[in-house]
Amino acid sequence: MGERPAAGGGKWVDVAPERLPRWLENFAARHGAYAEHGLTLTAADGAEATLHEPPGAGPVTTVAELLAAALTPRRLGLLLARKGAVAVGIADGTKLITSKVDTHYVQGRTAAGGWSQQRFARRRDNQAKAAAADGAGIVGRILLPDVRSLAAVVTGGDRTAVDAVLADRVLAPVVALRSERWLDVPEPRHVVLVSAVAMARAIPILIREP
């Protein structure tokens, strides 16, 4: 699923639960036999890999427990938002079982100054508020009725847009399940929501090499 640099050095990789055994074999092949210290692997050449639980799968204390928990089917709520676009769904295991995608026009920034700039800013703010209200309504229809069956709620897209959608106090039960996992996704569309299921299930691994 790609990799990204980690703050303080090293890199993050996301591994699908089904691929973790093969990933562990490859880690040993590259760096030598490793010892497990909880969820941290220390290889013969000094390389370290720290595994983290995917949303709704923890807490666990060993790699074997992590794999078993990650492979256990669980329901995840998904909320992706950017500007005027929102995508909400429920995943059961690897499958997206229900979803709703909506777009709401939000005007871009203008280079005009003076009164025109203020007028456009007010209009844009009103459009953004309307988009957030519509998004909150979708979350209320899709996630709220099934919130007790969800192991976690995973969000992504633009943080400001997501926070605006979840600001509605009616959605407090959904917010209570919000995972720290953040999905960096483009403008929400159905195909993006489908791909987000795999991203949400993935096991994040922090790798630091000597």
Q: What is the pLDDT of residues 156-196, one digit of tens each?
A: 999 999 999 999 999 999 999 999 999 999 999 999 999 99
pLDDT over threshold 60, residue 112: no
* Per-residue pLDDT band at 130 (split at 50, 70, 90): low
- The least confident of 22-26, 115-119, 194-198 is 115-119
Cα-based distances in Å from 193 to 130, 135, 183: 22, 15, 10
133 has a pLDDT exceeding 90: no
Confidence of residue 58 (pLDDT cuts 50, 70, 90): confident
Structure tokens at 54: 């995917």
Q: Which residue has the higher pLDDT, 130 or 192?
A: 192
- Taking residues 58-86, report their average pLDDT: 94
pLDDT at 2: 72
Mean pLDDT of 74-93: 95
Asked whether the beta carbons of 171 and 136 are under 8 A apart, the reply is yes
**Residue 111 pLDDT:** 47
Number of C-beta neighbours around residue 10 at 10 A: 16
Per-residue pLDDT at 127 exceeds 60: no
Query: For position 103, what pLDDT does the model report?
Result: 84
The two structure tokens encoding residue 176 = 């209570």
CA dist 187 and 159 (Å) reads 13
Q: Is the pLDDT of residue 95 over 70?
A: yes
User: For 70-88, what is the mean pLDDT?
Assistant: 94
**Average pLDDT score, the chain:** 90
18-22, 59-63, 112-116, 137-141, range with the lowest pLDDT? 112-116
Confidence of residue 205 (pLDDT cuts 50, 70, 90): very high
Query: Is residue 105's pLDDT more than 80?
Result: no
**Which domains, and CATH codes, for the chain?**
3-72+203-208 (no CATH), 75-200 (3.30.420.60)
Name the residue type at position 54: P
